[in-house]
Structure 1
Amino acid sequence: MSSSDIFIGETIGTAVLILLGGGVCAAVTLKRSKALNAGWLAITFGWGFAVLTAAYIANPSGAHLNPAVTLGLAIDGATEWSDVPLYLGSQMLGAMIGATLVWVTYYGQFRAHMTDPEIVAATTGHEGIVDKSAAPAAGPVLGIFSTGPEVRNVVQNLATEIIATTVLVLAILTQGLTKGLAVSGTGVLMTALVVVGIGLSLGGPTGYAINPARDLGPRIVHALLPLPNKGGSDWGYAWIPVVGPLIGAALAAGIHKLAY
């Protein structure tokens, strides 16, 4: 597998993953969206279909789309360690491109949502006057870009991301995809269904990042985009959806080596 295959596949594939995954979050969240308040089922299936679509598109690179998956495969011996930096860099770039495309796609809805008097009042503390000292750790549309906990407990939040990512990476490692991630129709479909299952069963506490690039790249975009009244990017929490999935991936690879 060439460096160009990795770069093109992972960049485009991860961009599509975030465009469709972040897109369903935007559709459910933003005012003036036809899917407003469609709920958690829409989000979990939307992310599952996002994985399915992106993995087929990223076939030339092996469709990692996730630094945790890349780490798990490298530890397991299926991916060369020398290729890991290129995978990670391409995934981060793709995630940021995808998040930006979500903003472009829903530009009108973002404007309508972020200038709504109710949102302005909730974000600023008093309508029209920005009180930076009272700015929330997580802004009103941050959930479109990245994840956050329903209950802030560092140990629980970290454990949730570790457990969920262990399930994901172990499922991939035991599918016969580990020989350079030779993507088959069945394997890709199974991975997408695993992501749906994780979302339904384990996604409630933290929003199931299970992918450092999926969370960090869009969080950076949220911080940079010119969104009015956007609030904070919650950087105090940002390390958990990065560190947790990486630990989970290492655990999955260790379990795979020991048990299989």
Structure 2
Amino acid sequence: MTAFDLTKFKALSFDCYGTLIDWEAGIAAVLSPWAEEQGLGLADEDLLVAYAGHEAAVEREAPATLYPEVLAEAFRRTGAGLGLAVSDEWAGRLGGSVPRWPAFPDSAGALARLAERYRLIILSNVHRAGFAGSNELLRGRFDAIITAEDVGAYKPAANHFRALEETLPSLGVARGELLHVAQSLFHDHVPAKREGLPSVWIDRRHDRPGWGATPEPSGDWDYRAAYPSMAAFADAVDSAFAGT
């Protein structure tokens, strides 16, 4: 991977859930007590792996469905795959849980530092109300917010990225001045490569094997650099600008 100049960008677009918000912890906080109630001897990681493909399938099959119902239906399918029914109460519990999903400890501080250098944009597979709740934790100063509810589809579909491109002129940002920042290779780095958008990987699972709640990427992907956390990325940005 070749070195690149972080100072040449004017804007950063962010995936939120998995990158800034710990969506795996949020999902596991519901799946784990359900599994315990059902007498399943499965660890959180096993539950996340069982869940991963179902969410992506629901998003692909019903792209206009709001995220709370995507979560609920994915939970139902996860239960069915494990040979168990998921009640409407449990499904609704996961569907309504997004605003309570925890932020990664470094997210808010890193965003505040990055906002001193760049315009910040959210590009998220979530509904507006869910992100509003999450941003109470992130305290992000975002110049644009693009959600699945806004574009009627879920990444890795192209809708978010097309809407992003249409938004840039109003922010005074040229396409070549935008860098995408994301954890998920499947949801973000595959379509970013397809759209010719440079990206950096926030590898939140660097200390764990496997893909967790995210499906394995099914297309070509790349990224300009990888960082184990948002704090590490913000540190690299600060160092780059200090050298100018």
TM-score, length basis structure 1: 0.29
TM-score, length basis structure 2: 0.30
